[in-house]
């Protein structure tokens, strides 16, 4: 992402409330809202290595990173909708994901898939925390 900072009065472009997900969506939305331009090229490619450069590469932390990613994906999704549309729009957009995740969390708990359970538990917790108006607070705890 290349940004012409001279086009912005405030050099703090990204919303500090986000963590891991949706920062770029929010920034692009703000640029378009202020009649700015966004250029996209079909000829540029980036090879994403997955979780090779993070703690997620270590199998010991598989459950914790599944929870972390899921928590922040759902928290950030809700926050994005809330910030750019309304709280009620966010609830309307996310309630299906909340109940599906809750159902899958219970399903995977019963059938002993601890990684999937942790992932869906993270989704439920992420939505629930934003639903209650809490800031993005969850971070990975590594010993």
Residues 6+ away with beta carbon under 8 Å from 13: 3, 5, 27, 30
Q: Where are the alpha helices (DSSP H) in the chain?
A: 23-33, 62-84, 87-110, 114-131
Best CA proximity match to 4, nearest among 35, 33, 38: 38
More confident: 33 or 134: 134
Q: What pLDDT does residue 35 have?
A: 84
Q: How far apart are CA 143 and CA 41, in angstroms?
A: 42
pLDDT at 55: 63
What does 118-131 look like in DSSP terms, one character per residue?
HHHHHHHHHHHHHH
Taking the C-alpha atoms of residue 43 and residue 30, their distance in angstroms, rounded to an integer, is 25
Average pLDDT of span 19-24: 92
pLDDT at 82 over 90: yes
Tokens of 85: 């549309």
Query: What pLDDT, on a 0 to 100 scale, did the predictor assign at position 31?
Result: 85
Q: What percent of the chain has pLDDT over 70?
A: 92
Domain coordinates of the chain in residue numbers? 61-131
What region, left, alpha or beta, does residue 22 occupy, with left being phi > 0 and alpha being psi -120 to 50 degrees? left
- pLDDT confidence bin for 54, thresholds 50/70/90: low
The model's pLDDT over 97-129, given as tens digits with 9 standing for 90+, comes to: 999 999 999 999 999 999 999 999 999 999 999
Mean pLDDT rounded to a whole number for the chain: 88
Predicted TM-score (pTM) of the model is 0.86
Query: Does 50 have pLDDT greater than 80?
Result: no
Q: What is the pLDDT of residue 63?
A: 85
């Amino acid at each position: 992402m290349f940004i012409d900072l001279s086009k912005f009065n405030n050099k703090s472009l990204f919303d500090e409330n986000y963590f891991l997900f949706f920062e770029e969506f929010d920034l692009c939305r703000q640029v378009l809202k202020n009649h700015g331009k966004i250029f996209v090229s079909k000829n540029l490619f980036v090879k994403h290595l997955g979780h090779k450069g993070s703690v997620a590469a270590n199998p010991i932390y598989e459950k914790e990173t599944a929870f972390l990613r899921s928590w922040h994906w759902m928290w950030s999704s809700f926050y994005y909708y809330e910030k750019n549309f309304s709280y009620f729009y966010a609830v309307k957009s996310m309630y299906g994901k909340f109940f599906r995740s809750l159902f899958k969390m219970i399903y995977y708990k019963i059938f002993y898939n601890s990684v999937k359970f942790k992932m869906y538990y993270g989704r439920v917790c992420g939505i629930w925390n934003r639903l209650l108006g809490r800031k993005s607070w969850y971070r990975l705890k590594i010993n």
